[in-house]
Amino acid sequence: MLRTSVNHRSPTKPASRLRKNWRGISLLAISLSVGLVIWETITHLFNIPPFILPAPEMVWNSFWLVAGNGTLLRHTLYTLLEVLAGLTLGVTLASVTGYFLAKFPTVEKLLSPYVVASQAIPIVAIAPLLIIWFGPGLVSKILICALIVFFPVLINTIVGLQSVPEDLHDLMRSLQATKRQTFWLLEVPASLPIFLGGLRVGATLAVIGAVVGEFVGADRGLGFLVNRARAEYDTALVFVAIFTLVVLALSMYGIVTLLERRLLAWRQRPEHEILIGS
Amino acid sequence: MKKATLLLTLITLLLSACSSAGTQQAGEEPQNIQTIRLPMGFRENIQFAPFYVAEEKGYFEEVGLNIDFDYSAENDNMALVGAGEREFAVVSGEQVLLARKQGLPVVYVLAWWQDYPVAVTALTASEINSPADLKGKRIGLPGLFGASYIGLRALLAAGGLKEEDVILDSIGYNQVEALAAGQEDAVVVYANNEPIQLAANGYPVTTIRVADYVELASNGLITNEKTIAENPDLVRRMTQAIIKGIADTIENPEEAYQISEKYVDGLSDLDKTIQMDILNASIDLWRAEVLGLSRPEAWENMHRVLVDMGSIPAELDVMQAYTNQFVSP
């Protein structure tokens, strides 16, 4: 019998997992508190003007102001919309293209120069052109996000599909599996761990893509908020927008990690449950 | 062996003599000349001709200054001057009020541009000839902040319009392409630049200048309160040298252009007719009876526009934002 599992972890008891989580949260809280104290001390000790480095309390006040009047939510939702739409488009295109590149070497030879060239072009250089071609609205921002997401997902799709062991393909053939069955029962689950690794990178890059687009030309979104705050020398608001972007990127990363845990739960199950045919 | 020792001694003596002479030559200049890193707020450009002229003709050197031009972004420069890291910077007038609102102790000491350069330009065929004609039109601008946005708001107000009466598109610095491609009915530009480029590329345009409707504080030199308090002489020397550069550029644009070719990388490769037109259009915005003098009305108007926009509080003291003490004849 063949095993599909690569990494077998022993199941953790709920009580010890809870303890572990609490320990993690406590350490994070301590780390953040120490960071804030150092930040506050530096601003007061060296008498740093707020337009250079605002104290944490100023950033907090600014946060409450824009959170209370709805400004922050409005800009965050717009950036989130760009990120989700761009990520969906980028991942769809990259996984479909990746499949054909992995399965058909001739297609790979034909398209790989374009794929590699697309990565050599800095996104900040092409973003203004996309805005001219597709207008200053949502479409150009989604395309910028999709472009930045495309490459890591594409590469991981190709690597994932190509890393499926040949003996498993032999097994599927011996079982007279159709192409569709091979795809859904073998290729998708076997390449999923590597594909999701690419998605994790892509999800955080999508946030950067959205901000790049908003920096070039936008009238809403967190990138726009950073630009407007800088134009008004409101450094505390710049910090608020940056921290929100960080939270957004971390959330995207966290969602993909949760998805990964759920989709790859079979990797953590006891060996006898994941044996093919069991 | 003796010969070798003698030769070595001779070489050592010669080298040390050369070295000390070199040190003396290099050391003489810094004793009298103070190097000022001057942030310009934009890339090297023909529009900075007065500064290049002042440098080339030795006006800065005459007053004991050596200028190191810095083409970094305007916002960073304002913060550097505010923090006392730089003595001077070239910035737009509205930035001074916005910066002072945030506690930056910056003061505008020389009005280089007498007229606000922001304008709205549209293809002549679109028949947009006045601010009121902008009603219902799609207008492209770099962003909803900065000089372009403020200039547009002032122009709309002059035409009895509000922001809701027009459709604004933030298109970055792609105004020429967006107008040429028909994406926008009108775009916010600098009167001395994009309209000239558009006309030269076969797109006849009508330009509505903000300066023709409202007088606003424009680009000029800033310093910080500390420099004014501790080293007013430095501020006076700096402003006087720049004023000489402006005067010479207005007097002889052709000569200013030739000088600028040394300072603006790639200027000689560009179309000279277009670049001269840009310089001449800029000169029209610099002319004044007393060069460098700030007009109180321009600052009051700017204050009013920014208060109306909600960008600054009404109580912000505009008188603290500028001074004419270094340029008065």
Do A19 and A110 share a structural domain? no
Do A138 and A63 share a structural domain? yes
Do A61 and A18 share a structural domain? no
Over 50: is that where the pLDDT of A242 sits?
yes
* B67-103 pLDDT, tens digit each: 999 998 777 889 999 999 999 999 999 999 999 999 9
pLDDT category at B28 given cuts 50, 70, 90 is very low
Residues A224, B140: C-beta atoms closer than 8 Å? no
Segment A29-44 mean pLDDT: 93
Chain A residues lying within 8 Å of B79, measured CB to CB: 51-52, 233
Per-chain mean pLDDT for chain B:
89
Distance CA B41, CA B183 (A): 29
Do A240 and A148 share a structural domain? yes
Over 50: is that where the pLDDT of A8 sits?
no
Which among A74, A72, A231, A219 has a CA at the least distance from the CA of A135? A219
Do A80 and A13 share a structural domain? no
Question: Mean pLDDT lowest for which of A113-127, A142-156, B27-41?
Answer: B27-41
Option in B102, B144, B174 nearest A51 (CB)? B102
Do B136 and B166 form a contact (C-beta atoms < 8 A)? Answer: yes
User: Do the domain assignments include residue A149?
Assistant: yes
Chain A residues lying within 8 Å of B98, measured CB to CB: 231-233
**Pairing state between β B186-190 and B138-141:** parallel
Chain A residues lying within 8 Å of B183, measured CB to CB: 132, 135
Q: Does domain B33-115+217-320 have CATH number 3.40.50.1820?
A: no
Do A205 and A84 share a structural domain? yes
Distance CA B153, CA B144 (A): 10
Residue ranges covered by each domain of chain B: 33-115+217-320, 118-212
Distance CA B62, CA B33 (A): 9
H runs (alpha helix) in chain A: 14-45, 56-68, 71-103, 105-120, 123-134, 138-162, 166-174, 179-181, 188-216, 222-231, 235-263
Do A73 and A25 share a structural domain? no
Decide which of A7 and A51 is more confident.
Answer: A51
* A184-223 pLDDT, tens digit each: 999 999 999 999 999 999 999 999 999 999 998 888 999 9
Do A64 and A44 share a structural domain? no
Over 60: is that where the pLDDT of B1 sits?
no
User: Do the domain assignments include residue A239?
Assistant: yes
Over 80: is that where the pLDDT of A18 sits?
no
pLDDT at position B23, please? 41
The topology under which CATH files domain B118-212 is D-Maltodextrin-Binding Protein; domain 2 (3.40.190)
- Phi and psi dihedrals of B108, rounded to 5? -85, 125
Which among A191, A216, A211, A89 has a CA at the least distance from the CA of A150? A89
Residue type, position B161, single letter: L
Segment B143-171 mean pLDDT: 93
Distance CA A275, CA B297 (A): 84
CA-atom Rg of chain A in angstroms: 23
User: Do the domain assignments include residue A278?
Assistant: no
Segment A90-111 mean pLDDT: 92
User: Do the domain assignments include residue A3?
Assistant: no
Segment B3-15 mean pLDDT: 50
B33-115+217-320 shares its CATH topology with B118-212 = yes
Chain A residues lying within 8 Å of B99, measured CB to CB: 51, 233
Segment B110-131 mean pLDDT: 95
* A109-144 pLDDT, tens digit each: 888 888 888 888 888 889 988 988 898 889 999 999
The total number of structural domains that make up chain A:
2
- Phi and psi dihedrals of A124, rounded to 5? -70, -25
Q: Select from A131, A214, A235 the residue whose CB has the most chain B CBs within 10 Å, as the one to mutate to test that interface.
A: A131
pLDDT category at A108 given cuts 50, 70, 90 is confident
Decide which of A86 and A117 is more confident.
Answer: A86
Residue in B with minimal Cα distance to A213:
B172
Segment B237-259 mean pLDDT: 97
pLDDT at position A12, please? 57
Contacts with B74 (C-beta within 8 Å, 6 or more apart), sequence order: B39, B41, B42, B89, B91, B92, B95
pLDDT at position B76, please? 82
pLDDT at position A20, please? 78
pLDDT at position A11, please? 53
Decide which of B112 and B9 is more confident.
Answer: B112
Over 90: is that where the pLDDT of B14 sits?
no
Segment B285-307 mean pLDDT: 95
Over 90: is that where the pLDDT of B11 sits?
no
User: What is the number of other CB atoms lying within 10 angstroms of the CB of residue A137?
Assistant: 14
Domain ranges, residue A238: 55-273
Using a CB–CB cut-off of 8 Å, the residues of B that contact A are 75, 78-79, 82-83, 98-99, 101-104, 140, 142-146, 168-174, 177-178, 181, 183, 311
Per-chain mean pLDDT for chain A:
88
Option in A137, A217, A231 nearest B75 (CB)? A231
Over 50: is that where the pLDDT of A175 sits?
yes
- Phi and psi dihedrals of A45, rounded to 5? -65, -45
User: What is the number of other CB atoms lying within 10 angstroms of the CB of residue B293?
Assistant: 15
pLDDT category at A87 given cuts 50, 70, 90 is very high
Do B221 and B90 form a contact (C-beta atoms < 8 A)? Answer: yes
Over 90: is that where the pLDDT of A226 sits?
yes
pLDDT at position B9, please? 52
pLDDT at position A143, please? 95
Option in A52, A128, A231 nearest B172 (CB)? A128
Strand-pair partners of B268: none
pLDDT at position B16, please? 47
3-state SS of chain B is: CHHHHHHHHHHHHHHHHHHHHHHHHHHHHHHHCEEEEEEEECCCCHHHHHHHHHHHCCHHHHCCEEEEEEEEEHHHHHHHHHCCCCCCEEECHHHHHHHHHCCCCEEEEEECCCCCCEEEEEEHHHCCCCHHHHCCCEEEECCCCHHHHHHHHHHHHHCCCCHHHCEEEECCCCHHHHHHCCCCCEEEEECCCHHHHHHHCCCCEEEEEHHHCCCCCCCEEEEEHHHHHHCHHHHHHHHHHHHHHHHHHHHCHHHHHHHHHHHCCCHHHCCHHHHHHHHHHHHHHHCCCCCECCCHHHHHHHHHHHHHCCCCCCCCCHHHCECCCCCCC
Question: Mean pLDDT lowest for which of A30-34, A105-109, B58-62, B121-125?
Answer: A105-109
- Phi and psi dihedrals of B138, rounded to 5? -95, 120
CA-atom Rg of chain B in angstroms: 24
Residues A51, B169: C-beta atoms closer than 8 Å? no
pLDDT category at A269 given cuts 50, 70, 90 is low
What is residue A267's DSSP assignment? G
pTM: 0.80
Distance CA B28, CA A195 (A): 66
Over 50: is that where the pLDDT of B25 sits?
no
Distance CA B33, CA A172 (A): 82
Do A193 and A124 share a structural domain? yes
* A49-80 pLDDT, tens digit each: 898 899 999 999 999 999 999 999 999 999 99
Long-range contacts made by residues B312-317, C-beta under 8 angstroms, separation at least 24? B312/B97, B312/B98, B312/B101, B313/B101, B316/B97, B316/B100, B316/B101
Residues B146, A231: C-beta atoms closer than 8 Å? yes
Distance CA B122, CA B99 (A): 32
pLDDT category at B30 given cuts 50, 70, 90 is very low
Question: Mean pLDDT lowest for which of A96-100, A133-137, A223-227?
Answer: A133-137
Decide which of B17 and B284 is more confident.
Answer: B284
Option in A52, A137, A227 nearest B79 (CB)? A52
Distance CA A229, CA A65 (A): 14
Do A100 and A21 share a structural domain? no
pLDDT at position A13, please? 66
Q: Smallest CA–CA separation between B143 and chain A, in Å?
A: 6
Do A207 and A239 share a structural domain? yes
Option in A49, A136, A219 nearest B83 (CB)? A49
Task: Say what percent of chain B tops pLDDT 90.
Answer: 80
Chain B residues lying within 8 Å of A230, measured CB to CB: 75
Option in B103, B104, B143 nearest A217 (CB)? B143
Distance CA B87, CA B234 (A): 9
Residues A49, B82: C-beta atoms closer than 8 Å? yes
Do A78 and A62 share a structural domain? yes
- Name residues 36-65 of chain A within 8 A of B (Cβ): 49-52
Q: What is the CATH number of the domain that holds A122?
A: 1.10.3720.10
pLDDT at position B73, please? 76
Segment A251-255 mean pLDDT: 94
User: What is the number of other CB atoms lying within 10 angstroms of the CB of residue B150?
Assistant: 26
Q: Smallest CA–CA separation between A223 and chain B, in Å?
A: 12
* B175-234 pLDDT, tens digit each: 999 999 899 999 999 999 999 989 998 999 999 999 999 999 999 999 999 999 999 999
